[in-house]
Amino acid sequence: MALVSLRDVTKTFPPSQRGGTPVTAIDRVSLDIEAGDVYGIIGYSGAGKSTLVRLINALESVSSGSILVDGVEINGLRESELRRLRLGIGMIFQQFNLFNSKTVWNNVAYPLRVARTPKHEIGPRVDELLSFVGLSDKAKNYPEQLSGGQKQRVGIARALATSPRILLADESTSALDPETTQEVLALLKRVNEEFGVTIIVITHEMDVIQTLATKVAVMDAGRVVEHGDVFDVFSRP
Ligand code: ADP
Ligand code: ADP
């Protein structure tokens, strides 16, 4: 059974208050993401990638079709079940989305506090995560004192805090220079290999897919126009 399974999913946004026509952001998409995959979703701006992420995270609900995570239909989950679903899905973002007023340490501790992790477990866990991303010496710094690559490493540590099975990376290297991008991608590869975390990588950059992903879906205008092993999809003439 796939870890994340989309069956004929469509998402249509209603017209805005000022009129216009409905927008079909996701159009009859079916996808299976297996546990342990690094699954790339690539497409131009407006292809529907972010909407897809928001549907998997249940931040938006489908217009039709179904999304199963671990075999459980996520549409219509109760609030408590949704919270549990989201604890199992870490997210990292293009603009990092760190709390500027919190130290690096407290950024990473945040999801553990939200999940009401016992205090004596939070300390060792945060220390372990900062060590994993190579930022133990920055624990007391604030995000503005860090480089872009360091910020994203904090983002990764924070996303992993509650030991999620799935990591959603939404344009997570698009704000970084090529060298830093490679460092962050290498770290994500370790997250997949050492912890077995399934990674879903949303990007418009071919390089990111080729460096990191094993499977890929190509999106265009809300549809998956091609999918399969990265090698097969991109080696065709
Ligand atoms: P991508 O992440 O690939 O750039 P998006 O998922 O952001 O694509 O957008 C896909 C389409 O859905 C675009 O036409 C966008 O304008 C539209 N869209 C996304 N979110 C909304 C929304 N909340 N309301 C209306 N239209 C939206
Ligand atoms: P609080 O009292 O706010 O619940 P803690 O007692 O967990 O928080 O931590 C107090 C402060 O010390 C926090 O601001 C945190 O940044 C810092 N801190 C706690 N443990 C560590 C640690 N192992 N390494 C670095 N800083 C830490």
Which residues' Cβ are closer than 6 Å to ligand 1?
A: 13, 23, 25, 43, 45-51
In Å, how far are 134, 203, 232 from 223, measured between CA atoms?
39, 15, 19
Q: How confident is the model at residue 187 (pLDDT cuts 50, 70, 90)?
A: very high
Task: Provide mean pLDDT across the span 19-28.
Answer: 92
Cβ neighbour number for residue 2 with a 10 Å cutoff: 16
Q: What is the mean pLDDT of the chain?
A: 95
Asked if residues 107 and 63 have their Cβ atoms less than 8 Å apart, the reply is no
The per-residue pLDDT for range 162-176, each reduced to its tens digit, is: 999 999 999 999 999
Task: Provide mean pLDDT across the span 177-183.
Answer: 94
- The pick from 106, 131, 135 for probing ligand 2's pocket by mutation, whose C-beta has the most ligand atoms within 8 angstroms, reads 106
Structure tokens at 222: 């809300």
Tokens 């342990």 belong to 36
Q: Quote the ligand 2 centre to 120 CA distance (angstroms).
A: 11
Q: Quote the ligand 1 centre to 47 CA distance (angstroms).
A: 8
Q: Quote the ligand 2 centre to 172 CA distance (angstroms).
A: 27
